[in-house]
Structure 1
């Protein structure tokens, strides 16, 4: 069947503008929206449609403005940086061979609607590429004598192609969408609907009465305030219906058959892609893949690879500006397998003469504390690299250098701090080399961290993603040489020629990436300081903390597992009694049937597909209406503790060290907070007795103690520093209980008169405002009315006006520059700070207020870790001194120390941590000592 794709160009442009950060090319021209449009166009063309049109709104009024003069009256003018991207967008669309349609007097929606209906009538398979919900009214499945009309959202990948699909998303059929929109109204187009009538209410009415006319006819029977609102809106609903109906009979010169996709104008595209820095598109163009060649589904996450420690983070959309690239950085490299002493010595001399080189290790495990070295790779100039195989043991493998001998030859170079080393997620490689007797020195640069500091909001900092993003280079994947699934082989089994192509590329691409990323860092002095003074010095510190590990008490864990199992069984039995029958507490389907069908409890929280949810939020919402949800929550909490900690931790004890070794991730959270995994120590619940019991299993060996040093109320102190509010600063300078001081200010009491409830309210406000808590959220947390909560907030701001001014000032700065900064210059980009969607924009504004505080707290503890580690290094050899830094969790550092050394550690570590930043208020460190982690609190 002939395929027709109709692209909603206006939707593409605005969605890309609001979804992507303010990118620019090397000349400073804005490219963010353009970049998004080009990627969506390339994804669309990859499907090879027969006919295509790119439809945009024509300037001037339309027939809807005549019907309703206030139509779209509240829309702001197009931002200048977006307007500057319209013409280049049109040039690229034309060069791709796509017709652009602009028809005066109607909207782009009407042009698309007309062409869609005509195309389907002619038997075409029509796809409308858009994110606009209004087009759901056009959806139709293929008929006997007619084609189909489907909606595809290129940004999310979703498809809507039948009444069933429309019903699943909107609760009504395609033929009822117009009536749904008429009832709801459209705030974006300034079409007022029935007040307080959202999509669920509108869908419910249409389900009962069939159509807008049916709803209007039954308006007198609808009770309550919503019924009053419906009756008040009756006079304008017919006009609403006319305004939201997409015309399908516009007189057009073009017919669907005339919109054939033309051959692209390659020279024009080449110039445009080069000008705007669209390197992947340019690479595909040169390869003859103009109509596609994308890099996989957006947001796809590559798995970690044994033998290649490429994975660098977890994270969100790119903030990177496009850069001009040296074509050599995207060219294939020349790689050598080094299997003789002479060639290894020649490479060692070359690396030493270069003064800096990139390196990587290949291993047999993802766990750096257990990984055995299979080979190493090196590169000193882009495009040339070597792989030194050391332990490939497949049948017929060539003779290789003996591992110990080769490492002895390499040791002087690797241990020489004057020769700078460069890696990608090099902390892994430091572990591997240390396990093999080499303490690497001179580790000066890490491309994962360069990328993270520059683009902290980006979801991916692994090598494959960075190579694609910055070099336009597709790397060899681990699966390409090792296979997948059950047939995957160990890296030691890979043929050396294939291993060389893969492994040497690691070092080569790392070096090439560094050449690109370091140029961007040089242009950002504040970010360079974050990278040089915080992130890079932290790498060996984290490696030492991970290597130190922590001792766990297996007997204590067994006791806790047994207790948790016993209590889980009791909770199961109680739940069965409350339900009156047996059921599976771990089955969401059975829970839904029991809670919402049998017990008739309200389904207050829904899944993304609109089904009743049984997640923690959903059960909490109905826990005051029946005892069963609370029992289920108790059961889940116990089960999670057992599966995640008491059963799991014994399995994670390293047999060589007898300890648990977590892994810390620097490129995890956009704010700079460290995260941990295997095990995740950040998520141990500490507000419950059961959670605190887990910490009792983390113990000190005989003759030693655990010492926990925790920053007190650090984010509130940072708020005082950033806001410079006199009252808040004064509260911290006086050393008073800040929550009691806040309560005294807000409620007009002396410190002695403040009640426990007033202090609790003040504490909720102090912390809640940093996270954007609303009056509704505060009311819910304190169990008071919303009006009373709003009065509390108003009182707070009247006593701490500097906090209110800081919050407003920060929102405005975020809107102007697209990012916020920590005290030390770390940036957090806010992709939705200018979004048209109110919920997205509000979320970005909350992040704008919180990120400087959370990010500054992260910077402070990182700085503290660096300086404390430096002091500990002077007390003895790594891993053998009188004290070890063994854990970092949130705002806390945990040490293991000889009992005699504890007073020195408490005094010095506390002092160093307190001096890690100079704020307007003192940093206070609280210290605890114990035989286990819980006792040390």
Structure 2
């Protein structure tokens, strides 16, 4: 059967289901070929055609046990070694637990010698990183209040019982006003001396809400939501070290405070797993002794202060501080308010939908079994069994398919290729089955479990640092992945509802990325189409196909739409041919014609790739940057695979466009949030280019007019921004407004 992971081919068309009975009957490969006459049908033919490859595969798979080698186990024991070099290697490989063990087992004087190129001079041990003060009586609390009220900036960090910011209990608060000392106020530990929660909140409220004292955090949104649930709306939040590191390098591997401190500050902090354990042995923070948690928490606060001091000049040097101060940081309280607000969910509707999906899946399951060529029942979700059905039982062609450890890939791209190449009805059924199954498990059955028992709503978490382009992402649930192109996918949106007396208002940017493309490229065809408020895809089709706008067919418009968006993501002729009915030559000709009619778009693509190669980074219209190291290295003599270069070129073409669109949406969200401060409507969701608000029925028109105006004026483009509004009792059934 071979082993693709080790490049051992095996006999084409022979899988485990066929091979096992043969080996049981004839014991060995030699036994199989000695009795080849007794084997019937297609299996015998495959064995005969694959005889040579079978024996080559056996030779490749056999482990050599007669290699002349002398092994002295004592020589393998690590004796004297270069501790500094070992730590450097472990850091490069991200073997953090190895570094921790080495730190614990190595004499301090050995570590003092360790230096890093262009990095801090010493790696500090994790114990006693900062001076820790446990605030557990009123005298200490008043002394802390005096320090906080006199500070220019305060770092605050909450320790909690879990990760769901809307349900966790507050276990303690860590604070710092410099990088050398941290305070820890225990509040929710199961044992130990602690102050009353309300007393602490009353004392902290003034410094944490004082507009003249800057507030700093690492992943501020989490701390902000938790603290607000306990009655303090921390403000102003002026620096978030996680967002700063991400803005400096959107592809950074050091967004976590511990990783960042180790990489850039030379500080080896205690990992959370070292404190509370992991897996079945993991404890909650509340179960941990105060004496163990306090140095961990105090270090988090003080090291965050150091990180902010390190990052601020870096942002200034790279001309990112203005973007940080005017866009990213003002967005933090906006997202926190949306997370707290949440959205109502029709759980009964989802339960009924799940029952319908279960029945549909059963029906499709039986249809797949009937189309399997007599194979019978099997696990449709098993790639291994699917391989046996498709490529052995049905003998579908495997030319050009990607190999995997189970045989051949059965991912969606492979299935689409098989559907196009063979037209076999089982393929479409498998695609349908997977789509429904994923929809049911990911959303229909999971969403009700995410409803907060205290609020009765779903509170998604927005990730401000989750993409390289600046777009927001979300989880629990992932709103961006809710399908909207299929009817069954749109049914999931039906479950997001407005409470009685209210409506959902959706305001969506119209073709914002194409408008950005028109502005950046200054292509006359695109700019004129937007200026005349034409259907941009129909206008593109008219230009490319050379027909009057009113004569553009549905098929021509759909094709132009695919090309318009595809080219922004670096689509070439091969991809266009694969995704359409065109031959490669026809696809190449179409793209040539497209660029002939829209020459500035072609120029933009060419110049953008060249700029990425030359300077190693690109920017949005707002000044957001992303590095393209592979393109830069390849252009300056480095050895980079063509596959990586091609992928970075596609990303480079898209980055200024999608990044600018993301910046525009963020600017709009900040402005909408400010405008609605004293009004009854509020934002609850942000997905792609869409904002969703919860609005009292009697405030709908006023809110609609205000939000549309703000979104359309968020940024001035030569292809003016346009926003469309619709409203309804749920997220699916909405009427234009």
TM normalised by structure 2 equals: 0.83
**Cα 1:893–1:536 shift into 2, 3 Å:** same
Alpha-carbon distance in 2 for matches of 1:619, 1:817: 40
Identify the structure with bigger relative contact order (alpha carbons < 8 Å, sequence gap 6+): 2
Q: How far did 1:515 drift? A: 1.0
* Aligned match for 2:571, one of 754, 770, 773: 773
* Aligned match for 2:672, one of 849, 863, 868: 868
2:221, 2:332 within 8 Å by CA — same for their partners in 1?
yes
Q: How far did 1:432 drift? A: 0.8
Q: How far did 1:749 drift? A: 1.4
Other-structure match for 1:845: 649
Alpha-carbon distance in 2 for matches of 1:736, 1:294: 58
* Aligned match for 2:440, one of 627, 642, 645: 642
Other-structure match for 2:510: 712
Q: How far did 1:290 drift? A: 3.0
Unaligned runs of 5+ in 2: 11-49, 58-77, 98-115, 635-639
* Aligned match for 2:417, one of 603, 606, 621: 621
* Aligned match for 2:323, one of 505, 530, 542: 530
1:860, 1:916 within 8 Å by CA — same for their partners in 2?
yes
**Cα 1:205–1:666 shift into 2, 3 Å:** farther
**Cα 1:297–1:651 shift into 2, 3 Å:** farther
**Cα 1:524–1:473 shift into 2, 3 Å:** same
* Aligned match for 2:402, one of 579, 601, 606: 606
Q: How far did 1:486 drift? A: 1.4
Q: How far did 1:364 drift? A: 0.5
Alignment of 1:109-128 (within 5 A): none
Question: What whole-Å deviation, never above 9, does each CA across 1:667-694 have from its counterpart, x for those lacking one?
Answer: 0001011000001110001000000010
Alpha-carbon distance in 1 for matches of 2:404, 2:54: 23
1:290 is the counterpart of 2:128: no
* Aligned match for 2:691, one of 885, 889, 893: 893
Question: What whole-Å deviation, never above 9, does each CA across 1:220-250 have from its counterpart, x for those lacking one?
Answer: xxxxxxxxxxxxxxxxxxxxxxxxxxxxxxx
Q: How far did 1:744 drift? A: 1.3
Q: How far did 1:858 drift? A: 0.7
Other-structure match for 1:495: 289
Q: Which secondary structure does the structure 2 equivalent of 1:366 belong to?
A: coil
Alpha-carbon distance in 2 for matches of 1:737, 1:803: 18
Other-structure match for 2:149: 352
**Cα 1:296–1:621 shift into 2, 3 Å:** farther
Alpha-carbon distance in 2 for matches of 1:905, 1:610: 55
Q: Which secondary structure does the structure 2 equivalent of 1:464 belong to?
A: helix
* Aligned match for 2:351, one of 558, 566, 574: 558
Q: How far did 1:169 drift? A: 3.5
* Aligned match for 1:572, one of 349, 359, 365: 365
Q: How far did 1:381 drift? A: 1.4
Other-structure match for 1:409: 203
Q: Which secondary structure does the structure 1 equivalent of 2:626 belong to?
A: strand
1:512 is the counterpart of 2:306: yes
1:858 is the counterpart of 2:662: yes
1:831 is the counterpart of 2:625: no
* Aligned match for 1:441, one of 210, 227, 235: 235
Q: How far did 1:864 drift? A: 0.4
Q: How far did 1:459 drift? A: 3.4
Q: How far did 1:417 drift? A: 1.8
* Aligned match for 2:612, one of 796, 810, 814: 814
**Cα 1:291–1:646 shift into 2, 3 Å:** closer
Other-structure match for 2:135: 338
Alpha-carbon distance in 2 for matches of 1:513, 1:709: 38
1:591 is the counterpart of 2:429: no
Q: How far did 1:874 drift? A: 2.6
2:129, 2:299 within 8 Å by CA — same for their partners in 1?
no
2:122, 2:266 within 8 Å by CA — same for their partners in 1?
no
Please identify runs of 4+ aligned residues in structure 1 that moved more than 6 A: 164-167, 208-211, 261-264, 299-302, 326-331
Question: What whole-Å deviation, never above 9, does each CA across 1:205-231 have from its counterpart, x for those lacking one?
Answer: 9949989xxxxxxxxxxxxxxxxxxxx
Q: Which secondary structure does the structure 1 equivalent of 2:157 belong to?
A: strand
**Cα 1:501–1:262 shift into 2, 3 Å:** closer
1:464 is the counterpart of 2:302: no
Q: How far did 1:547 drift? A: 0.7
1:605, 1:617 within 8 Å by CA — same for their partners in 2?
no
2:542, 2:548 within 8 Å by CA — same for their partners in 1?
yes
Q: Which secondary structure does the structure 2 equivalent of 1:564 belong to?
A: helix
**Cα 1:889–1:601 shift into 2, 3 Å:** same
Q: How far did 1:801 drift? A: 0.8
TM normalised by structure 1 equals: 0.66
Q: Which secondary structure does the structure 2 equivalent of 1:682 belong to?
A: helix
Query: What is the aligned-residue RMSD (CA, Å)?
Result: 2.5
Other-structure match for 2:182: 385
Q: Which secondary structure does the structure 1 equivalent of 2:579 belong to?
A: helix
* Aligned match for 1:541, one of 328, 334, 340: 334
2:228, 2:234 within 8 Å by CA — same for their partners in 1?
yes
2:612, 2:618 within 8 Å by CA — same for their partners in 1?
yes
**Cα 1:642–1:803 shift into 2, 3 Å:** same
**Cα 1:560–1:911 shift into 2, 3 Å:** same
**Cα 1:166–1:707 shift into 2, 3 Å:** closer
Unaligned runs of 5+ in 1: 1-163, 173-203, 212-260, 265-284, 303-320, 876-880
Q: How far did 1:716 drift? A: 0.6
